[in-house]
Amino acid sequence: MGKLLIGRYIPGDSLIHRLDPRGKFIATFFFVAIVFLANNWLTYLVLAVFVAICILLSQVSLSFFIKGIRPMIFLILFTVVLQILFTPGGHPFWHWGIFSLSKLSLINGAFIFMRFLLIIFISTLLTLTTMPLQLADAIEALLKPLRLVHFPVDEVALMLSIALQFIPLLSDETTKIMNAQRARGVDFGSGNLLKQIKAVIPILIPLFVSSFNIAYDLSIAMESRGYHGSEGRSKYRILHWQLQDSLVLVVFLALAGGLIYLRS
């Protein structure tokens, strides 16, 4: 849990760090959408090379990046296995009840695995290179037109920003609770599945209590400082859209066009 990178920010002065958070936010969601355009090995290779270039430009160590993805590998592999066993079509070379294996299911499983990795890498890159306050400002700026229909833009931006900051905080808190339970003799890795599930209960209850305490302290701190949304408040950090931000969006549009051209 302590190695989970989603929600963490790494200070830096790379090209990715200097981009406008609004552009990075739009580019990230656009990438998540165009990933589904890939349907063959060549298109996935293009996407993998593109993500690798983005990571190099961010100056974040690739090995450090892979270690941060490791806690989510089990969930990814579980989804891939379900995809492999339940994908219809093709000539099955193994069949048992409702489960079957075929060349088509294995290929689809590999594509799903790559799709998961690419989406996690690019979304994690967004939080690694963008401060949470900048993300909140970007979300607020992008949702600003919804104020015309009385949508609570400020509150939603604040909630998302706090949620991103709470991910690493709760991860660290979980690690502390697990270490404390291990010191009391709890073994989280032994026994059958039922025993391992029961061993999680001593983690969940203190984690929920700690989360509510943190949320309560945060609300008191915000109220004591007179926070009432962004109405009438000035900005210390002003967002500036530059030429390089427009060029980044053009590159992503070109990537989408290339994927459409390379689709089989």
The conformation of residue 20, written as its DSSP 8-state character, comes to: -
The one-letter amino acid code at 66 reads: I
Query: Is residue 99 helix, strand or coil?
Result: strand
pLDDT confidence of residue 105: 74
The one-letter amino acid code at 180 reads: A
pTM, rounded to two decimals: 0.73
Residue 99: how many CA atoms within 13 Å on its side-chain side? 6
Both tokens of 249, joined, read 């969006």
* Calpha distance 98→92 (Å, rounded): 12
Asked if 214 and 169 count as a contact pair (C-beta separation under 8 A), the reply is yes
Alpha helices in 71-192 (DSSP H): 73-86, 103-128, 132-142, 153-183
Query: Is residue 100 helix, strand or coil?
Result: strand
Q: How many CB atoms lie within 10 A of CB 96?
A: 9
From the number of C-beta atoms within 10 Å of its C-beta (0-12, 13-18, 19+), residue 264 rates as exposed
Phi, psi of 12 (to 5 degrees): -175, 175
pLDDT confidence of residue 26: 92
Structural element, H or E, at residue 94: strand 92-96
pLDDT confidence of residue 1: 47
pLDDT confidence of residue 166: 77
Q: What angle do CA 68, 114, 121 make, to 5 degrees?
A: 35
* Calpha distance 227→116 (Å, rounded): 38
pLDDT confidence of residue 126: 87
Q: What angle do CA 81, 83, 85 make, to 5 degrees?
A: 70
- Per residue of the chain (264 residues), give pLDDT as tens: 445 565 677 888 888 989 999 899 899 999 999 998 888 889 999 999 999 999 999 888 877 777 767 777 777 787 777 777 766 666 666 666 666 677 777 777 888 888 888 988 888 888 888 887 788 788 888 888 887 887 877 778 777 777 777 777 777 788 888 888 778 777 766 666 676 667 777 778 888 888 888 888 888 888 888 777 666 667 677 788 889 999 999 999 999 999 999 886
